[in-house]
Structure 1
Amino acid sequence: MIQPALIKKQRIILCVLLVLIMLTIVIGTGIGYSSLTYDRLIPTLLGQGTFKEEFVLFSIRLPRIFITLLAGMALALSGAILQGITRNDLADPGIIGINSGAGVAIAIYFLFFPIDVGSFVYLLPLVAFVGAILTACLIYLFSYTRNEGLQPVKLVLIGVGFSLALSGMMIVLISSAERTKVDFIAKWLAGNIWGTDWPFIWAILPWLVILIPFTLYKANRLNLLGLSEPVSIGVGVSIEKERIILLFTAVALAASAVSVTGGIAFIGLIAPHIAKALVGPRNQLFIPIAILIGGLLLLFADTVGRNLVDPDGIPAGIMVALIGAPYFIYLLLKK
């Protein structure tokens, strides 16, 4: 039974995070290369703005804000699931190579297959999912031994190796490609939010609508998987079945996010850790908080990054890495 005090604390934190997200959205809509004054924000939302104001708000700012928010949520939830099923606090879809696997699949599709403008947006998450799940399965197989089961430390090391190998493969793929396609993939690698139109939101939203409730439904299973394997088996958990189902869920979330935002790491590492520090390790409590923290972190990083340097700014992936890399080193030293 969860203590009422913890539930109350969780609700307060969720409310605070929602307020911070709303503030960041409001700030993000008003600043940028084409400014939109805050006193014109509500009239423009109500359809009383000029053509330029409505274009800036509805065609540039809001799609990018929503994409960034949804992608951050997906990456945070993916990281929380991976840390739960591997019992490893360093697991993250960017660090252990899942994002790189999705990136290679997208690069192959973008370079060698005919692109149909109408279906391109909706096919990208599926293509990324295929690349990510193949990578995840290989990492899992190399990390698993029959006698000892899944070895968490080995999984991270193998994942980092896969990530480096796939990054090298990406460079080989783009070395002989057309200049315009190379520019796109280079931006993807840097974590530049490129899916900044409403169709990209409809492409990622169904994944979150389905997989967030599913993960919360499986939260108690994640709690049991965090125990030692003999204990998990003793309470009746089918370990391998649950791990595979949840691994597919984590990969689908990460793939849907990086297909529209590019290669962004560390969100899935940082957000669950902050959430656990606030309300403890029980998945029912910290997962909703981690989801909102992930969305807030990526939204904040993109809002700051795109306004530091005119006109294109600094990619969100680089901004997140500036925060996440020191934290990753801290965790390595601590664990």
Structure 2
Amino acid sequence: MIHRDLVRKQRIVVIALLLLILLTIVIGMGVGYASLSFDRLLPTIFGDGTFKEEFVLFSIRLPRIVITLLAGMALALSGSILQSITRNDLADPGIVGINSGAGVAVAIFFLYSPIEPGSFVYLLPLVAFAGALLTAALIYVFSYSKTHGLHPVRLILVGVGFSLALSGVMIVIISAAERVKVDFIAKWLAGNIWGTDWPYILAILPWLIVLIPYALYKANTLNLLSLHESVAIGAGVRVERERILLLATAVALAASAVSVTGGIAFIGLMAPHIAKAIVGPRNQMFIPVSVLLGGWLLLIADTIGRNVVSPSGIPAGIMVAFIGAPYFVYLLLKK
């Protein structure tokens, strides 16, 4: 039974985050390299803007804002699931190598398939999912022990090792590629939001529509898995089956995000931690907060990054790393 005060607190936090997201979206629509004043936003939204204003808003800024928001939500939920099923507060799809696996798959698909940027947009999440799933399966195998089960610390170490190894693989892959495509992959590795068009939203949105309700449905199972295997088994949970299904869910969420945003880490680390600190460790309570917080964190990082240096800006992945890397060190020392 969840206390009413905690439920009330969660609702207040959710409303506050929704308002923060709305405020950040309004700011993001009004600032940028191309001028679009705030007093022209509403007329442009309702069809009374000039051609330039409508082009800037509907073809450049709004798609990027929506993609960034959705990707942040996916990464935060992925990190929330990983931390629960591994019982490790340092688990994050970017840190444990899942993002790197997705990145290598996307790089191979992009560099060595006869495609142009933006073509086969709906295949990119599937390609990224395949690479991330293979990586996650290998990490799981190397982290699992028949006597002790899944070892949380070993999973982080193995994941970091895979991440470094896959980074080396990425360098080898792109070393012989064309210059234009190498530039694209370099931006992808830096976490530069590149899928900034409406089809990319349609490519990532179905994954979130299906997997966010699924994760909330499995909240009680995640609560049990985050305690101990013996507790989960005693409660009638089929531990290995549920862990594999939830791991695949986390992999799918991370892959769908990085396939259109590039290599972004630390969102899946920070958002669940902050959410747990606010509303507690129950998955029913902190997952909605974590999802909204992850979307807002990536959205504000990208909004700041693309306006700090004009016209190219600083990639969102780098902006997030400025905050996330020290936070990771802090958690590492604390734990």
TM band (smaller chain): over 0.9
Query: In the aligned structure 2, how far is the partner of 1:259 from the partner of 1:118?
Result: 11
4+ residue runs over 2 A deviation: 116-119
User: Which aligned pairs between 1:1-335 and structure 2 lie closer than 5 A?
Assistant: 1-115=1-115, 120-335=120-335
Query: In the aligned structure 1, how far is the partner of 2:85 from the partner of 2:302?
Result: 30
Distance apart, 1:227 and its partner CA: 1.3
User: Alignment partner of 1:310: what SS?
Assistant: coil
2:276 is matched by which residue type in structure 1?
K
Q: C-alpha deviations, 1:202-257, integer Å up to 9, x for none?
A: 00000000000000000000001011111111111110000000000000000000
Query: In the aligned structure 2, how far is the partner of 1:83 from the partner of 1:21?
Result: 25
Worse-matched range after superposition: 188-197 or 226-235:
226-235
1:302 is matched by which residue type in structure 2?
D
Distance apart, 1:117 and its partner CA: 7.1
Query: In the aligned structure 2, how far is the partner of 1:228 from the partner of 1:247?
Result: 17
CA-based RMSD: 0.8
User: Alignment partner of 2:281: what SS?
Assistant: coil
Q: Identity across aligned pairs (percent)?
A: 77
Query: In the aligned structure 2, how far is the partner of 1:118 from the partner of 1:158?
Result: 34
User: Alignment partner of 2:35: what SS?
Assistant: coil
Q: C-alpha deviations, 1:113-133, integer Å up to 9, x for none?
A: 122778511000000000000
Distance apart, 1:294 and its partner CA: 0.1
User: Alignment partner of 1:67: what SS?
Assistant: helix
Query: In the aligned structure 1, how far is the partner of 2:194 from the partner of 2:119?
Result: 17
Query: In the aligned structure 2, how far is the partner of 1:312 from the partner of 1:189?
Result: 16
Worse-matched range after superposition: 230-239 or 23-32:
230-239
User: Alignment partner of 1:9: what SS?
Assistant: helix
Worse-matched range after superposition: 230-239 or 261-270:
230-239
1:155 is matched by which residue type in structure 2?
L
2:172 is matched by which residue type in structure 1?
V
Q: C-alpha deviations, 1:64-96, integer Å up to 9, x for none?
A: 000000000000000000000000000000000
User: Alignment partner of 1:127: what SS?
Assistant: helix
> Normalization by structure 1: what TM-score?
0.99
2:94 is matched by which residue type in structure 1?
G
Worse-matched range after superposition: 88-97 or 104-113:
104-113
Query: In the aligned structure 1, how far is the partner of 2:111 from the partner of 2:98?
Result: 20
1:77 is matched by which residue type in structure 2?
L
User: Alignment partner of 1:139: what SS?
Assistant: helix
2:190 is matched by which residue type in structure 1?
A
2:48 is matched by which residue type in structure 1?
Q
Judged with a 3 Å threshold, the aligned counterparts in structure 2 of structure 1 residues 77 and 34 are, in CA distance, closer, same or farther, namely: same
Distance apart, 1:35 and its partner CA: 1.6
Query: In the aligned structure 2, how far is the partner of 1:230 from the partner of 1:33?
Result: 56
Tell me how many residue pairs correspond in the alignment: 335
2:232 is matched by which residue type in structure 1?
S
1:92 is matched by which residue type in structure 2?
D
2:303 is matched by which residue type in structure 1?
T
Judged with a 3 Å threshold, the aligned counterparts in structure 2 of structure 1 residues 169 and 272 are, in CA distance, closer, same or farther, namely: same
1:238 is matched by which residue type in structure 2?
R
2:33 is matched by which residue type in structure 1?
Y
